């Protein structure tokens, strides 16, 4: 028996030598050549054969009760380790994350997800940062964590961290002069983000770097319209900047003076004129639309009979009224019945099919689908609550709905119209009953900016960019006064330990008694 054991011991040693030889051959030839495979296979066979003999020799040992219990315990441990290994394997290849914060602080916005999903080319994002300054390092870590969410959602996003001190040539190549600058590149196009870096700026930079065209928007002027360059409360400078950030070119057009629509006009905007349009102007706009042009109109209550009648040619009815909402929903946001909150949207319109947030329309008139749509597909996109109506006599002191005269709720305040006019050309129109909702005062209210820019993206045939945009990060820090800090200090270091000591002393005294 001892002689047989020695033979199988030698067999096991030869098996180990064969495995080592096979590994050496693999390393020399940089692959599994025939000699390496034969050596490895022989080593495995020899080791398994010797192992089988030793197990057979110890068969009495494996029949003992204690041995069986130990094997069962070992099997459970191996199964547990195997489950952990499987979870780790799946986790490494199928990443899943849950954001449980109330404001979704660690989730990217709907628009960002759509932009990443629609990427057709790889993009490189460079974070230029440095070391040695704690403030720079902390900000760099925050930006890198934010960028990691982008690469997590799309394999086409590649993140690179560049140390300015160690690689100054790269900083010079991209024109970077300050720490924590982000540069987005795609197919030779480059966009740079300086200053505060947030999701909105990164997503807009990706849009600009991936877009090959820049749609041009003309705001018509000459009738008291809202000015896209005005920084006043009722101006549009903020929303114009948003459009510029999303790769649009914004300009104004004095139609009476120009006498024609520019050839590079992708969209015309009529923003709350206070004086009506003349027949020659409406004829110019009509000819532009007949050729597949795009138009966005925003009203305020009162007047403009020529413009409202003209829009009926496209299946759109603009009422001379003011929407009153007595549902009380506006009180939650500090508004009154003259500033209706809208939460009902058409689920088939590309502009609002995924819209779930409220919009505010201060002093709006109703805009509806006309009975005769003139062959246009007209959709009432947004409606107020059932406790609202379109008040025709809105200048009277006591506002109340008059059946047969006023427009009953829910009242539509935004419509879209579209029609294919020729092969490859389609006319698209969006009309809002209000213009204040995207003014510098109200454009930040929940969904106001989104429904406006979504409408523009739909009008210029860039529906892939429709979505809910990133919101500004909310500062949820708690600021404590010096008195409050001292109180917390006394509670933690004096009061709570003293209470624990008294309870412990009382329990000891009771048990001793």
CATH of the domain at 439: 3.40.50
Mind listing the pLDDT tens digit for each residue in 85-139? 777 766 666 556 666 555 556 688 888 888 899 899 999 999 999 888 888 999 9
Q: Return d(Cα 179, Cα 165) in angstroms, integer.
A: 10
Together in a domain, 300 and 433: yes
Please, are residues 432 and 297 in contact by the beta-carbon 8 Å criterion? yes
Three-state secondary-structure class, residue 109? coil
Identify the burial level of 372 via C-beta atoms within 10 angstroms of its C-beta, where 0-12 means exposed, 13-18 middle and 19 or more buried: exposed
Please, are residues 264 and 398 in contact by the beta-carbon 8 Å criterion? no
SS3 content of the chain, % helix, strand, coil (to 5): 45, 20, 40
Please, are residues 286 and 261 in contact by the beta-carbon 8 Å criterion? no
Report yes or no on 135 lying in a domain: yes
From 26, 59, 93, the end of a domain falls on: 93
Residue 62 is predicted with a pLDDT of 60
CA 53 vs. chain centroid, Å, equals 64
Q: Return d(Cα 243, Cα 204) in angstroms, integer.
A: 10
Report yes or no on 75 lying in a domain: yes
Q: Describe the crossing of helices 134-153 and 110-117 by its angle, rounded to 10 degrees.
A: 60
Together in a domain, 193 and 230: no
Q: Describe the crossing of helices 199-210 and 110-117 by its angle, rounded to 10 degrees.
A: 30
Together in a domain, 195 and 155: yes
State both tokens at 95. Answer: 């990443």
Q: Return d(Cα 272, Cα 167) in angstroms, integer.
A: 53
Together in a domain, 421 and 499: no
Together in a domain, 420 and 292: yes
Q: Return d(Cα 344, Cα 412) in angstroms, integer.
A: 9
What stretches of 94-233 show up as alpha helix (H) in DSSP?
110-117, 134-153, 168-173, 199-210
From 174, 207, 240, the end of a domain falls on: 207
Three-state secondary-structure class, residue 305? helix
Together in a domain, 377 and 242: yes
- Supply the range of the domain harboring residue 130: 110-207
Together in a domain, 501 and 425: no
Together in a domain, 49 and 188: no
Question: How are strands ordered across the β-sheet holding 189-193?
Answer: 157-163, 123-129, 181-186, 189-193
Residues 432, 436, 441, 445, CA torsion sign:
negative
What stretches of 101-133 show up as alpha helix (H) in DSSP?
110-117
Together in a domain, 252 and 224: yes
Please, are residues 226 and 435 in contact by the beta-carbon 8 Å criterion? yes
Question: CA Rg, the chain, in Å?
Answer: 36
Please, are residues 381 and 362 in contact by the beta-carbon 8 Å criterion? no
Three-state secondary-structure class, residue 215? coil
Residue spans of the chain under pLDDT 70: 1-2, 30, 58-71, 73-74, 89-106, 468, 471-479, 513
pTM above 0.85, yes or no: no
From 157, 191, 207, the end of a domain falls on: 207
Residue 27 is predicted with a pLDDT of 78
Q: Quote the number of domains for the chain.
A: 4
Q: Return d(Cα 498, Cα 500) in angstroms, integer.
A: 5
Paired sense of beta strands 181-186 and 359-360, if any: unpaired
Q: Which residue has the tokens 């190549």?
A: 173
Q: Return d(Cα 471, Cα 103) in angstroms, integer.
A: 10
Please give the torsion angle defined by the CA atoms of residues 232, 233, 235 and 237, in that order, rounded to the nearest 10 degrees.
80
Please, are residues 436 and 362 in contact by the beta-carbon 8 Å criterion? yes
Together in a domain, 284 and 380: yes
Report yes or no on 57 lying in a domain: yes
Apex CA 190: angle with CA 189 and CA 191, to 5°?
A: 135
Report yes or no on 393 lying in a domain: no
CB-based contacts of 498: which residues, under 8 Å, 6+ apart?
none
Q: Return d(Cα 299, Cα 434) in angstroms, integer.
A: 5
Report yes or no on 333 lying in a domain: no
State both tokens at 420. Answer: 């294919």
Report yes or no on 101 lying in a domain: no
CB atoms within 10 A of CB 323: 33
Together in a domain, 165 and 219: no
* Total residues belonging to the chain: 513
What stretches of 464-513 show up as alpha helix (H) in DSSP?
482-490, 496-512
Report yes or no on 378 lying in a domain: yes
Together in a domain, 281 and 373: yes
Q: Return d(Cα 146, Cα 161) in angstroms, integer.
A: 13
Report yes or no on 24 lying in a domain: yes
């Amino acid at each position: 028996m001892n002689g047989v054991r020695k033979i199988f011991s030698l067999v096991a040693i030869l098996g180990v030598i064969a495995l080592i030889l096979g590994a050496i051959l693999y390393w020399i030839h940089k692959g599994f050549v025939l000699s390496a495979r034969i050596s490895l296979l022989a080593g495995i066979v020899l080791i398994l054969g010797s192992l089988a003999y030793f197990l057979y020799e110890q068969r009495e040992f494996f029949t003992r009760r204690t041995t069986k219990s130990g094997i069962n315990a070992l099997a459970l441990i191996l199964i547990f380790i195997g489950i952990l290994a499987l979870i780790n394997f799946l986790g490494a290849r199928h990443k899943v994350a849950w954001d449980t914060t109330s404001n979704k602080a660690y989730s990217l916005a709907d628009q960002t997800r759509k932009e990443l999903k629609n990427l057709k080319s790889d993009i490189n994002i460079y974070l230029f940062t440095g070391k040695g300054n704690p403030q720079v390092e902390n900000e760099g870590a925050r930006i890198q964590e934010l960028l990691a969410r982008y690469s997590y959602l799309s394999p086409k996003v590649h993140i690179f961290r560049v140390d300015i001190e160690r690689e100054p040539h790269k900083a010079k190549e991209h024109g970077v002069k300050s720490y924590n600058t982000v540069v987005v590149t795609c197919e030779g196009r480059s966009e740079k983000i300086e200053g505060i870096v947030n999701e909105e700026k990164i997503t807009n930079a990706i849009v600009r770097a991936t877009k090959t065209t820049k749609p041009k928007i003309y705001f018509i002027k000459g009738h008291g319209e809202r000015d896209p360059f005005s920084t006043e409360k009722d101006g549009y400078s903020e929303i114009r900047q948003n459009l510029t950030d999303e790769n649009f070119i914004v300009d104004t057009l004095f139609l009476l003076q120009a006498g024609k629509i520019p050839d590079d006009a992708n969209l015309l905007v009529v923003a709350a004129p206070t004086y009506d349009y003349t027949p020659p102007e409406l004829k110019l706009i009509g000819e532009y639309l007949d050729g597949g042009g795009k138009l966005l109109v925003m009203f305020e209550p009162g007047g403009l009979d020529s413009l409202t009648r003209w829009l009926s040619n496209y299946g759109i009815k603009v009422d001379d009224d003011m929407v009153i909402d007595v549902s009380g929903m506006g009180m939650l946001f500090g508004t009154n019945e003259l500033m209706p909150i809208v939460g009902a949207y058409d689920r088939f319109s590309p502009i609002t099919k995924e819209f779930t947030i409220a919009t505010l329309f201060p002093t709006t008139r109703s805009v509806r689908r006309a009975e005769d749509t003139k062959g246009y597909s007209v959709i009432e996109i947004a409606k107020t609550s059932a406790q609202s109506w379109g008040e025709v006599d809105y200048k009277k002191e006591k506002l109340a709905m008059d059946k047969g005269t006023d427009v009953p709720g829910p009242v539509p305040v935004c419509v879209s119209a579209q029609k294919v006019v020729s092969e490859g050309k389609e006319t698209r129109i969006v009309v809002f009953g209000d213009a204040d909702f995207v003014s510098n005062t109200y454009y930040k209210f929940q969904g106001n900016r989104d429904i406006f820019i979504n409408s523009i993206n739909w009008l210029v045939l860039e529906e892939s960019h429709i979505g809910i945009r990133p919101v500004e990060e909310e500062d949820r820090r708690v600021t404590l006064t010096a008195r409050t800090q001292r109180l917390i200090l006394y509670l933690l270091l004096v009061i709570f330990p003293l209470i624990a000591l008294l309870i412990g002393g009382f329990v000891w005294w009771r048990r001793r008694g």
